[in-house]
Amino acid sequence: MATTYQRIKVAPMAGALGAEIGGIDLSRPPEPAAIAEIRRAFHDHQVLMFRDQKLSPEQHLALGRCFGPLTRSPYVKHMDAYPDIIAVLKEADENKISTFGNAWHSDFSFLEEPPMGSLLYGREIPSHGGDTLFASMYAAYEALSPGMRAMLDGMSAVHTGKPYGVQGVPKDLRVSRSIQMERNNPAADRETLHPVVRVHPDTGRKALFVNAIYTQRFENMTAAESKPLLDFLFAHAIQPEFTCRLRWAPGSLAMWDNRCTMHYAINDYDGRRRLMHRITVAGERSVGPRRNAA
């Protein structure tokens, strides 16, 4: 049965995931009944986009806390004035460099308790370019054959903070000076085990939980043995039918569920400045269908 809403307007934006939410001003923390409706929409659509919001950093932080305790992301420099906010910035003169989030991933999946989600707010948006893609990992899982699903249901995979460690950083990586990330920290090479299929703690739905940035190999297998199946899963998960694309404007706020989506920040706006503020909501340990928790 379709969910009905009294306090917000919900307009789905693609078949697999994503909805635009209207009829609400987020500059003051919404009342509990409205938060409950936003949560329902979040569970139904996994990625929510609110337009034309005027949020100071304090208002952004207060909104984020309505959805759970905030957490700080390791290896990424947060704002001096707002230590729970990451300024995701690329300056107009930064050309042909790597930018934050410019590969399919779910955030910090190498943590024992990866984030629940993030609230990303558009402050300065290029006239064109700089969209963000999202993929539904529910849709990816559900489209697999019964045999593949049954096999993956019993598997776990090793995740590491490869881009921040000493083993996996490409030697010639050139990254934006506008967002500082710590590199070559041996602690980032630490391995964390997660089920390959994650049961969402609120919806009970199963989602694929591997991503090309942080997932290294399957448990009890070598990287070479794991690669063909991981490569298949990475490519399978980002089929256009499982995705939606967010076009930003100043004042747009997106909120995504990191437990059942991946995202990709498109780096196609050389010569134009883009400034986003991101806050991250803490998550929980992952649990698999056969309770093969990390």
Nearer to ligand SIN, 134 or 218 (CB): 134
Regarding 100 and contact with ligand SIN (CB under 6 A), the answer is yes
Which lies closer to ligand SIN via its Cβ, residue 30 or residue 64?
A: 64
Given a contact cutoff of 8 angstroms between Cβ atoms, the answer to whether 117 and 67 are in contact is: yes
Tokens (6 digits) for 188: 């980032």
Q: Where are the alpha helices (DSSP H) in 71-178?
A: 137-142, 146-153
If binding is defined by CB under 6 A, does position 88 make contact with ligand SIN? Answer: yes
- Residue 276 found at the interface with ligand SIN (CB under 6 A): yes
263 binds ligand SIN (CB under 6 A): yes
The token pair that represents 166 in the structure block: 């000493």
In the residue annotation, 78 being an active-site residue is answered as no
Q: Is 93 a catalytic residue?
A: no
* Contact call for residue 278 and ligand SIN (CB under 6 A): yes
269 binds ligand SIN, rule: CB under 6 A = no
Residue nearest to ligand SIN (CB): 101
Distance of CA 111 to the CA centre of its chain: 14
Cα torsion 21, 22, 25, 27: sign: positive
Which of 107, 198, 200, 257 does the annotation list as catalytic? 107
Sign of the Cα torsion 78, 80, 84, 85 reads negative
Nearer to ligand SIN, 88 or 281 (CB): 88
Residue 278 a catalytic site member: yes
- 233 forms bridges with which residues in the sheet? none
Query: What DSSP element (H or E) covers 20?
Result: strand 19-22
The binding site for ligand SIN (CB under 6 A) comprises: 88, 100-101, 120, 132, 263, 265, 276, 278
